[in-house]
């Protein structure tokens, strides 16, 4: 039997690549650098399945092909706002993602960011490495206590719930959530969370706000200058969702003028390019999109893509079909 042809756009963990090679006619982007829209478009004419990541922008332009051979995009990651949904539908593509397997690790990074910005850990590390630490003193790098504070979570899906679990059970925080749809009372009760009906209601209540909603056009600049102004002047904003959810210009203004306490970001609009103004903000912690970056999560993500491919090529509806 002829094996389906599969193209992987970036290097994956070796164990997953080996498993893929057993079952499929596998082609890898051995250079491991992001492909251009033209190169991405070219793959659609050559392979039965293409397996992209967040760095592969399958825009309307990249999906503008006639007679694609590709029938499935098996996305390596949970967020898929880098794939133009309307164009994928027009092409009749099936699109899958990798939920669940990275929720805990991504919530760990969100909690890491929360703690780092609250306790000024980034500033402390920068000072020490620069050789500027003059020793302990009672007023040095005074941060904010986390226990007992109110955490607002925007987007109460799997990652948002894992964040709430850590914050409530691990750090004794009170959790307030906003979600597009109502959350079942028993799900809220697990983390003693309260759901409010609007983001504008949530923001002034919180000492920390953590974003866990999808990216893409509908949520672009969901956090803008009007909403930043609704936050308490000493509150902190954490983003492990997608960069475009925050208006970064508005955020730099709030940080530079001390209108909020600080922010901590794992994702950036137009990453890996970083808005140079962000670099100037001391009360900002930045990580290079590390949410799912553990051996365990990255392998599990790969095996989840394999499960979806097995479903698809066996004629079943893939378990994680999103389009």
Residue 191 CB neighbour total at 10 angstroms: 24
User: In 3D, which of 226, 220, 227, 237 has the Cα closest to residue 285?
Assistant: 237
Of 41 and 242, the one with the shorter C-beta distance to ligand DGY is 242
Q: Tell me: does residue 292 bind ligand DGY (CB under 6 A).
A: yes
Q: Tell me: does residue 291 bind ligand DGY (CB under 6 A).
A: yes
Of 102 and 235, the one with the shorter C-beta distance to ligand DGY is 102
Beta-bridged to residue 154, according to DSSP, are: 178, 211
Point out which span in 32-40, 71-79, 137-145, 221-229 binds ligand DGY (CB under 6 A).
Answer: 71-79
Q: Tell me: does residue 102 bind ligand DGY (CB under 6 A).
A: yes
CA distances from 130 to 135, 138, 143, 317 (A): 14, 21, 20, 55
Give the span between the Cα atoms of 117 and 121, in whole angstroms. Answer: 7
For the packed helices 103-118 and 121-129, what is the interaxial angle rounded to 10 degrees? 70
SS3 content of the chain, % helix, strand, coil (to 5): 35, 15, 50
Find the catalytic residue in 119, 271, 299, 321: 271
Nearest approach in angstroms of CB 180 to ligand DGY is 18
141: left (phi over 0), alpha (psi -120 to 50) or beta: left
Point out which span in 5-13, 17-25, 38-46, 74-82 binds ligand DGY (CB under 6 A).
Answer: 74-82
Question: 3-state class of 12 per DSSP?
Answer: coil
Of 70 and 292, the one with the shorter C-beta distance to ligand DGY is 292
Q: Tell me: does residue 79 bind ligand DGY (CB under 6 A).
A: yes
User: In 3D, which of 54, 56, 35 has the Cα closest to residue 293?
Assistant: 54
Nearest approach in angstroms of CB 150 to ligand DGY is 26
Nearest approach in angstroms of CB 82 to ligand DGY is 8
Residue-wise DSSP of 126-186 = HHHHTT------TTTT-----TT-EEEEE--SHHHHHHHHIIIIIH--EEEEE-SSPPPHH
Point out which span in 62-70, 77-85, 147-155, 302-310 binds ligand DGY (CB under 6 A).
Answer: 77-85
Nearest approach in angstroms of CB 312 to ligand DGY is 19
Residue 135 CB neighbour total at 10 angstroms: 5
Half-sphere exposure (CA, 13 Å, Cβ side) for 12? Answer: 30
Q: How many residues sit close enough to ligand DGY to count as binding (CB under 6 A)?
A: 8
Residue from 52, 74, 77, 261 touching ligand DGY (CB under 6 A): that is: 77
Has 242 been annotated as catalytic? Answer: yes
Q: In terms of DSSP H, where are the helices of 171-247? A: 171, 185-190, 199-202, 225-230
Q: Contact 85/111 with Cβ under 8 angstroms?
A: no
Find the catalytic residue in 242, 244, 248, 298: 242
Of 77 and 261, the one with the shorter C-beta distance to ligand DGY is 77
Residue from 54, 206, 228, 235 touching ligand DGY (CB under 6 A): that is: 54
Of 70 and 75, the one with the shorter C-beta distance to ligand DGY is 75
What is the number of the residue whose Cβ is closest to ligand DGY? 77
Of 104 and 207, the one with the shorter C-beta distance to ligand DGY is 104
Point out which span in 25-33, 76-84, 270-278, 280-288 binds ligand DGY (CB under 6 A).
Answer: 76-84
Residues at the interface with ligand DGY (CB under 6 A): 53-54, 77-79, 102, 291-292
Task: List active site positions.
Answer: 242, 271, 289
């Amino acid at each position: 039997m002829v094996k389906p042809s599969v193209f992987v756009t970036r290097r994956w963990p070796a164990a997953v690549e080996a498993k893929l090679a057993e079952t499929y006619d596998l082609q890898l982007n051995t250079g491991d650098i992001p492909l251009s829209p033209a190169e991405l478009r070219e793959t659609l004419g050559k392979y039965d399945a293409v397996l992209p990541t967040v760095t592969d922008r399958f825009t309307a332009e990249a999906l503008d092909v006639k007679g694609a051979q590709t029938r499935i995009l098996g996305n390596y990651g949970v967020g898929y706002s880098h794939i133009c949904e309307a164009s994928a539908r027009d092409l009749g593509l099936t699109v899958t993602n990798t939920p669940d397997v990275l929720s805990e690790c991504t919530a760990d990074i969100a909690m890491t960011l929360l703690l780092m910005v609250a306790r000024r850990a980034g500033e402390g590390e920068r000072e020490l490495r620069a050789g500027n630490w003059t020793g302990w003193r009672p007023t040095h790098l005074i941060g904010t206590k986390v226990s007992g504070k109110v955490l607002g979570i925007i987007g109460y899906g799997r990652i948002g719930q894992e964040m709430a679990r850590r914050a409530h059970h691990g750090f004794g925080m009170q959790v307030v959530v906003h979600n597009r749809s109502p959350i079942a009372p028993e799900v809220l009760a697990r983390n003693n969370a309260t759901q409010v009906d609007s983001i504008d209601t949530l923001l002034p209540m919180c000492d920390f706000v953590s974003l866990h909603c999808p990216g893409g056009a509908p949520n672009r600049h969901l956090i803008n200058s009007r909403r930043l102004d609704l936050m308490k002047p000493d509150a902190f904003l954490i983003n492990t969702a997608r960069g475009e959810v925050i208006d970064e210009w508005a955020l730099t203004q709030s940080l530079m003028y001390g209108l909020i306490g600080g922010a901590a970001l794992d994702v950036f609009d137009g990453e890996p390019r970083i808005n140079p103004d962000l670099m100037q903000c001391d009360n900002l912690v930045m990580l290079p999109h590390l949410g799912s970056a553990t051996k365990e999560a990255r392998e599990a993500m790969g095996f989840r893509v394999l499960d979806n491919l097995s479903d698809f090529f066996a004629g079943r509806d893939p378990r994680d079909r999103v389009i």
